[in-house]
Amino acid sequence: MFWQLALLFFATTLCKAVYELHFSRLSHIPGPKLAAFTRLYELYYDVVLRGKYTHKIAEMHSQYGPIIRVGPREVHINNPDFYETVYALRGKRNKDPWFTSNFAVPKSSFGTLSHDVHRSRRSLMAPYFSKARVQRIESTILAKVDKLVRRLEEFVHSQQPLRLDPVFSCLLVDIVSEYTNYKCFNYLDSPDFQPIWADTTKDLSECAMMSRNLPGVFGILACLPRRLVKQIYPKLITVMDFRADCIKEVAHMFHNTSDSKEMAEVKICQEPTLFHDLLKLESSPDAEERVLHEFISIITAGTETTSNTLTAITFHVLNNIKIKQKLRDELYQAFGDGNAMTWTELEQLPYLTGVIYEGLRLSYGLSTRSPRVSPDEALQFGDTIIPPNVAIGMASVIMHHNETSFPDSHKFMPERWTDPEERRRLSKYLVAFSKGSRSCIGRHLALANLYFTVSTMFRKFEMQLFETTEDDIKLEHDIMLPRPRLTSKGVRVIIKRPIV
């Protein structure tokens, strides 16, 4: 019996290999034969080597050309001018279930596979993230940034090194939670800046990557006793606890509307909040689960990517005295007597804008590829026809290091963006927020957070890097989000003194 099963397995595997390599719809697209045959090729690079498949894809492009097959049903393209065809504003684009199901938020806008269902869900939320709406809540952002300034002043006296990613994560969680919810989480009040939150988001992204490559494993683990899960894969405990906290928060929203009204009365900004208006709009039986999934995706996606960008900007500015001085000079001249500036006014500062755009370029947003599927039409790339219902990816990491678009791409150069015409041209290739009908819905909120935080930090404080090198910011592991070397202690600074 054993030999019969072994023979059957071998025959099935051989037939699948022959089909994928010679008869499948993608057999004409070049790439490693093992990648075309099985996802185990990717599993080796992403699970065994910890997030190395994006690096491997870049190597594959060097060997095979601008279009390659990176999975049995997936191709990857390295041609910046083709990005807006794959990530189209018009035309149907579904998400690939193999990439999306691992986030475990299928009823969120982010996790929705179908183009039409996504359009319906996104249309309910889009008004809350418009540029006009964000401009109306600038007071909320400024209040949180001012609170951050007061917290950082505490470190002037202690001269203790401060790891930046938890600091920025706390700031952004407080902004996003107050903006979208009826209350602020107040993580900035934490004496140590709640490092558990920054670690939780890292664990979330790692679990998502692992579950993509090992489907079903985490579902089984979650059913085991907690103490056993802690021994097998302790990071899953953090994720399970986070989800449980989110469930409680959303349940409280649904069943304690009087609390919501009381909290709303003391908010700095009286704009309606996303989640409470969603409660009114959602009438389906699974409304609570729908709001839960949006809550999880917005709180996590809205904080970690922007935190990464702020961390990258701070490192690169402090690591180059000329860049720091140019930025300071522009800020001092613009602020003059110290009065606050609006987001619109800050956007007119060319060097600040260059610093922010270059920070976005070198922090990548979502570093992993997020493929799109054209369900109805074939796409043509040069002489190659890509059939319908094929996942097509273009990773931001590879886009942002295309030397044709961005010469000397690994160098932090704000000057790339200071000329308005050149900025418009290069913006086509800046995809930290993705593009098209499924681009990041929180783009305007993220940009406002970046402008207010960067302009305040470098105007208010003298900072110095502490035992931090480029290895602590350089992408070494693509674990859904960019990660440096595993031994890194993060970007750390000493707050030398406040600038009066």
The position carrying tokens 């998400």 is 95
The position carrying tokens 């490192």 is 315
Closest by CA position to 247, among listed 296, 299, 197: 296
Under a CB-based contact definition with an 8 Å cutoff, are residues 346 and 452 in contact?
yes
HSE, CB side, 13 Å, CA atoms: give it for residue 116: 2
Give SS3 for 232.
helix
Q: Are strands 162-163 and 492-498 parallel, antiparallel or unpaired?
A: antiparallel
Which positions make up the binding site? Answer: 440
Neighbouring CB atoms inside 10 A of 383's CB total 7
Could you give the CA distance from residue 463 to residue 498 in angstroms, rounded to a whole number? 9
Could you give the CA distance from residue 478 to residue 206 in angstroms, rounded to a whole number? 9
The position carrying tokens 């940009």 is 447
Could you give the CA distance from residue 157 to residue 134 in angstroms, rounded to a whole number? 35
Q: Are strands 74-77 and 67-71 parallel, antiparallel or unpaired?
A: antiparallel
Give SS3 for 483.
strand
Under a CB-based contact definition with an 8 Å cutoff, are residues 398 and 58 in contact?
yes
Backbone angles phi, psi at 171, to 5 degrees: -55, -50
Neighbouring CB atoms inside 10 A of 221's CB total 18
Angle at 141 between CA 104 and CA 251, to 5 degrees: 35
Q: Is the dihedral of CA 112, 118, 120, 125 positive or negative?
A: positive
Report CA dihedral (431, 202, 148, 161) to the nearest 10 degrees: -110
Q: Which residues pair with 22 in a beta bridge?
A: none
Could you give the CA distance from residue 118 to residue 434 in angstroms, rounded to a whole number? 16
At a CB cut-off of 8 Å and minimum separation 6, what does 335 contact?
A: 341, 459
At a CB cut-off of 8 Å and minimum separation 6, what does 224 contact?
A: 232
Q: Which residues pair with 379 in a beta bridge?
A: 386
Which positions make up the binding site for heme? Answer: 440
Q: What would the two tokens of residue 96 be?
A: 């690939």
HSE, CB side, 13 Å, CA atoms: give it for residue 429: 24
